[in-house]
Amino acid sequence: MRKDFVFVSESVTAGHPDKLCDQISDAIIDHFLIQDPHARVRAECAVSKAIIFIAARFASTATVDCAQVARKVISEVGYNLPDFNAKTCSILSTFQELPPDPKADFDEQKLSDKGIDEVLVKNQATLFGFACDQTSTYMPLTIHLAHKLSRRLCAARLSKTLPYLLPDGRVQVAVEYKNRVPDRIQSIIISTSQEKPDKPAPQVLEADLVEKVIKTAFEDEALKPDKDTLIFINPDGPIVIGGPVSHSGLTGRKNAVDTYGEYSRQSQKALSGKDPMRIDRAGVYMARYAAKNIVAAGLARECEVQLSYSIGMAGPLSIQVETFGTGKLRESKMVELLKEHFDFRLAGILKQFNLRHLPALHRSGFYQKLAAYGQVGRMDLDLPWEKTDKASLLAAAAKLD
C-alpha cells in the first residue's frame, strides 16, 4: 500500500460544457419529480457550438418543457455570448414516452419491511462510497480544494470581482502525501476562459487569480501553498470564449468530479440525468453515507464501501469494506455492522433519504444543484447522505465486539 505519493484531483466550474449538460439533465429530473414524485426519467444532454441535443425517456403524468428548462439553465450559468446563449441556441430533442410503471407507484414512507423487499432493482451496478479524515467534510483534500477553487473562480465572475472571466473553467490541485497524510500543496493549475486574448494580459490574470481566487480559497485551510508550490494559470495560453463554442459537452462525463476526484474508485456510471429509483444513483449516496459514518465513528481513518447490485434483487448481492490499513476493526466485522445498522435495499434508500420527494421540497432545484461541484461532500446543501447520525451507534456497537 502506497504511503508517500503525490495525488492530483480536478474540478470544473458550472460553465464547463460537461457540467452544463449535467445541470440541464438534472434540472429536467427536478421538473418531473416536482410534479410527479413517482416519475421514471432518463435525460441525456449533449452540447456543442450553438446546438443542444436532449434525449429523454419517461413514464410520468408530469408535463415538462425540456427545451425551456435547458434555456433557463444556460441563462443561470451565465452564457450570454453571441455564439452561445439561452435565446438563440438551437435545441434538438427526442422523447420516448413509456407506459406507466405500476411498480414505481408506492409510498416508501409507508412500506413495511416486506414491502421494501418487494421493490426490486432494475439495473445492475457496482458502486463505491468513500470517506476519510483529511478534511472536515470527510473528503480527500485534493478534490476538496479543487472544488473550493473552482467555486471561488465562479464566484469571482458572478460577483464581478473579476468581470472579464467567462463561465468555462477548470482547476487541478496536486497534494504531496507522507504516510497517507497530506503534507504540502505541490501545485495548483487554473485554466479559465476570457472574451479577448489580451484582456487581461497574462501577468494581470495570474496576479488577479492568485489574489482573488487562490488566497481567498485557502484563507481557512490548515494546509496552504508554500514558497515552492507551483502555480500555473492558463499554461497552454489564453482560453478565448471557451465553453460549447470551443469544446463539446456530454451528460455523465465527469464522474470523478462528481465523487472523489479519483482518490477512491468510482462506478463509471453517470449520476446526473436519472431519477433516484436508478440504483446506480441512489446506491452511490448510500455507499457514501455508510463510509462517512464509519470514519466519523472513529473506526477507520479511510473507508471505501463497495455495493454490488443485480437486476431483480431488492438489495446488494455483495457489500465490501476497505480501510487501507487504517481500520480499528476487522473489515469483515465492519461489513456486519453495516448490514445490521443500514438498509441498502433500493426502497430502503428511498425511504431513508426521501430521494423522490426532495425536488418538491426544494423548488429552486435539488438535483440540479448537485450537478456541479460534487454530489458528495457538499456541506453547503442539507444532504441526507452527508449526515453522521449513525456514527455514535456504530462506535457503541464496535465496543461490544
Range of the domain at 345: 125-134+278-399
Per the structure, how many domains does the chain have?
Answer: 2
CATH code (residue 171): 3.30.300.10
The verdict on 287 and 381 lying in the same domain is yes
Helices (H), 210-278: 215-217, 255-258
Alpha-carbon distance values, 23 to 47, 127, 155 (Å): 12, 22, 17
The verdict on 221 and 310 lying in the same domain is no
Question: What integer pLDDT is reported at residue 237 of this predicted model?
Answer: 87
Q: Is residue 213 part of a domain?
A: yes
Question: What integer pLDDT is reported at residue 401 of this predicted model?
Answer: 52
The verdict on 224 and 194 lying in the same domain is yes
Positions of the chain with pLDDT lower than 50, given as ranges: none
The verdict on 311 and 386 lying in the same domain is yes
Q: Is residue 297 part of a domain?
A: yes
Q: Could you please report the per-residue DSSP string of 348-397?
A: HHHHHHTTTTHHHH-TT-SHHHHTSS-SSS-SSS--GGG--TTHHHHHHH
Choose the final residue of a domain: 190, 224, 243. Answer: 243
Contact 74, 249 (CB under 8 A): no
The three three-digit cell numbers of residue 143, written as one number: 478534490
The verdict on 228 and 151 lying in the same domain is yes
The verdict on 282 and 393 lying in the same domain is yes
The verdict on 239 and 296 lying in the same domain is no
pLDDT in tens, 148-179: 999 999 999 999 999 999 999 999 999 999 99
The verdict on 179 and 149 lying in the same domain is yes
The verdict on 288 and 391 lying in the same domain is yes
Q: Is residue 348 part of a domain?
A: yes
Choose the final residue of a domain: 216, 243, 270. Answer: 243
The verdict on 315 and 394 lying in the same domain is yes
The three three-digit cell numbers of residue 200, written as one number: 487581461
Q: Is residue 30 part of a domain?
A: no
Report d(CA 370, CA 10) in Å as an integer. Answer: 16
Question: What integer pLDDT is reported at residue 262 of this predicted model?
Answer: 96
Q: Is residue 272 part of a domain?
A: no
The verdict on 145 and 130 lying in the same domain is no
Q: Is residue 162 part of a domain?
A: yes
Residues 6+ apart with CB under 8 A from 204: none
Radius of gyration over alpha carbons of the chain, in Å?
Answer: 22
Report d(CA 284, CA 289) in Å as an integer. Answer: 9
Question: What integer pLDDT is reported at residue 363 of this predicted model?
Answer: 78
Question: What integer pLDDT is reported at residue 55 of this predicted model?
Answer: 98
Q: Is residue 194 part of a domain?
A: yes
The three three-digit cell numbers of residue 277, written as one number: 429509483
The three three-digit cell numbers of residue 79, written as one number: 452564457
The three three-digit cell numbers of residue 108, written as one number: 416508501
The verdict on 160 and 130 lying in the same domain is no
Question: What integer pLDDT is reported at residue 240 of this predicted model?
Answer: 86
Q: Is residue 105 part of a domain?
A: no
The model's pTM: 0.96
Report d(CA 79, CA 88) in Å as an integer. Answer: 11
